[in-house]
């Protein structure tokens, strides 16, 4: 598949993890660190997203996400096209630096 025909998408991860005990806080930290190391950007607290380069990448990153799930809590994911993600409205606050600096068409994906 050529680079022109690939469809850029975003994988969004929403999670709500317990952080009452020391073990739960550790599981939260490990999961959050996995997301950051795997290329996710924090959109809001407990909402992370990353750019994908087609359906093959979606399957690969979804499997990696499943392999690194914490033992307790709620984790959800949603895949949206780049056009749908760009149409998101910011109602209160300012855009993050990452949202201003890099658009998907500016990224070079291998």
Q: Give the model confidence (pLDDT) of 31-63 as tens digits.
A: 999 999 999 999 999 999 999 998 889 999 999
Kindly report the three-state secondary structure assignment for every residue of 35-104.
HHHCCCEEEECCEEEEEEECHHHHHHHHHHHHHCCCCCCEEEEEEEEHHHHHCCCCCCCCCCHHHHHCCH
The pTM for the full model equals 0.79
∠ Cα 107 104 43 (to 5°): 115
- Kindly indicate the confidence band of residue 99, based on its pLDDT and cuts at 50, 70 and 90: low
Please give the domain boundaries of the chain with CATH numbers for all domains.
8-105 (3.30.70.240)
What is the average per-residue pLDDT within 89-107? 67
CA atoms of 73 and 17, how far apart (whole Å): 4
With pLDDT > 90 as the criterion, what percentage of the chain qualifies?
63
Is 80 exceeded by the pLDDT of residue 14? yes
Binned at pLDDT 50, 70 and 90, residue 21 comes out as: very high
């Amino acid at each position: 598949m050529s680079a022109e025909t690939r469809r850029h998408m975003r994988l969004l991860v929403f999670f709500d993890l317990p952080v009452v005990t020391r073990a739960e806080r550790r599981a939260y930290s490990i999961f959050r660190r996995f997301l950051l190391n795997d290329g996710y950007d924090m959109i809001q607290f407990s909402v992370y997203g990353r750019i994908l380069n087609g359906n093959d990448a979606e399957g690969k990153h979804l499997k990696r996400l499943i392999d690194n799930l914490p033992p307790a809590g709620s984790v959800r994911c949603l895949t949206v096209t780049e056009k749908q993600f760009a149409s998101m409205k910011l109602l209160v606050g300012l855009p993050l630096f990452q949202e201003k600096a890099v658009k998907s068409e500016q990224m070079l994906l291998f």
